[in-house]
Structure 1
Amino acid sequence: MARRSPCVTISDEEPGDDLDLFCVPNHYVEDLEKVFIPHGLILDRTEKLARDVMGDMGGHHIVALRVLKAGYTFFADLLDYVKALSRNSDRFIPVTVDFIRLDFLRATVMTSQQQHNPKMVEVASLLVKRTPRSIGYRPDFDGFEIPDKFVIGYALDYNEYFRDLNHVCVISETGKAKYKSEAESPG
């Protein structure tokens, strides 16, 4: 197993960046507090994770299993980098893609994948949130460790909104109220 890059840890005191510094859709400006992780930094970190994945796989066939829905952008970008690295190296690694939809992630995925008798099982996640509710599980490849903040964007949603943002952003109280689902609304 190759040496993996360390997770990028974002401190609890990280203020984020002003929305004015980035391209943010006008219809979301009042719904966001700040840009927490800019798109360029996400892509750079994703490329580094792809290099780590390639280093660990050691020429094995990769079966990439994506859990629907959140994370589809990270998944696609990570696989694009893995494929590019494979094409441009002397050791081609075949990649197969499959999808699964789950409500309870960890136990179900680990149980279902065992039926295929894989040589190894590794999990990649763009974000790991520091929260008191955490059960202590850490993915094998993690991009950013972040404080316990309500983040959206880069395919992370709030009631199906904000998936189209390129950056990971912190949602504002205005945004939470505006996009609160009908089922959550009083009355």
Structure 2
Amino acid sequence: MKGETDLFEDKKEKVLISRDEISNRVREMGKEISKDYRGKDLVIVSLLRGSFIFTADLAREMDIPVEIEFMTTASYGHAEISSGRVEILQDIRGEIKGKSVLIVDDIIDSGHTLLKVMEHLEEREPASIKICVMLDKPSRRQVDLVPDYVGYEIPDVFIVGYGLNYGDHYRNIPYIFTFE
């Protein structure tokens, strides 16, 4: 029986978005978000685990003061597609009432996770809530939700790298790829 790290040994990587492309786009997004939130009390809510790399890179490209909070949600487990059932495993610690909230996630596909997180955070009366994602798969959307900031729109392919995992692996790869 093959181990999890051997699953794709016989397949060739196909780079979808290079390290340089990611870096340039994250820089652009950081500037845009900084401009939009200048003078506002901004709290970034990073959804763990997938968005930790993107959130760190994005926050470093912003030239405004920000608070960073973390939430852990689950809807995939080790599967390639969302179960549609979203659990909040770890909530934010800080106060967001009256503050601008920017939810940061690695990818939006069905939209169930981000909708659940938005609804959960809205109960705390923030001044506003917007969504920022590195990747958008609009062809898979099952809820009426459009992110406010998008790094890249991608087709319906299974991708890994730059925080995105397969099982417990590949998050540390600095580019986004598929397997051929």
Return the alpha-carbon distance in structure 2 between the equivalents of residues 135 and 34 of structure 1. Answer: 30
User: Which residue in the other structure is 2:152 paired with?
Assistant: 144
| Structure of higher RCO (CA pairs closer than 8 Å, 6+ residues apart) | 1
User: Which residue in the other structure is 2:99 paired with?
Assistant: none
Q: CA RMSD in A?
A: 2.1
TM-score (normalised: structure 1): 0.66
Return the alpha-carbon distance in structure 1 between the equivalents of residues 66 and 9 of structure 2. Answer: 39
Identify the match of residue 102 of structure 1 among 65, 68, 73.
Answer: 73
Choose between structure 1 and 2: higher strand proportion. 2
Closer/same/farther in 2, CA of residues 114 and 51 from structure 1, 3 Å limit = same
Q: Does 1:64 align with 2:44?
A: yes
Write out the 4+ residue segments of structure 1 that deviate beyond 6 Å after TM superposition. Answer: none
User: Which residue in the other structure is 1:178 paired with?
Assistant: none
Q: CA offsets per residue over residues 44-91 of structure 1, 9 Å max, x none?
A: 101111111112113112111011111211111001111xxx2xxxxx
Deviation at 1:171, TM superposition (A): 2.3
Contact 2:115 2:145 in 1 (8 A): no
Aligned to 1:160, the other structure's residue is in SS state coil
Return the alpha-carbon distance in structure 2 between the equivalents of residues 116 and 126 of structure 1. Answer: 25
Aligned to 1:59, the other structure's residue is in SS state coil
Return the alpha-carbon distance in structure 2 between the equivalents of residues 159 and 150 of structure 1. Answer: 13
The gaps in structure 2 that reach 5 residues or longer are 1-7, 75-85, 87-112
User: Which residue in the other structure is 2:167 paired with?
Assistant: 159
Closer/same/farther in 2, CA of residues 148 and 109 from structure 1, 3 Å limit = same
Deviation at 1:132, TM superposition (A): 4.4
Aligned to 2:151, the other structure's residue is in SS state strand
Q: CA offsets per residue over residues 100-153 of structure 1, 9 Å max, x none?
A: 112322233112222432222111000001424543522100010011111100
Deviation at 1:30, TM superposition (A): 4.4
Deviating more after overlay: 125-134 vs 157-166: 125-134
Q: CA offsets per residue over residues 140-184 of structure 1, 9 Å max, x none?
A: 000100111111001101111111211100124xxxxxxxxxxxx
Q: Give % identity.
A: 27
Return the alpha-carbon distance in structure 1 between the equivalents of residues 120 and 177 of structure 2. Answer: 33
Flag the structure with larger Rg.
1
Q: Does 1:78 align with 2:86?
A: no
Choose between structure 1 and 2: higher helix proportion. 1
Show the 5 A alignment for 1:158-177. 158-172=166-180
Contact 1:128 1:138 in 2 (8 A): no
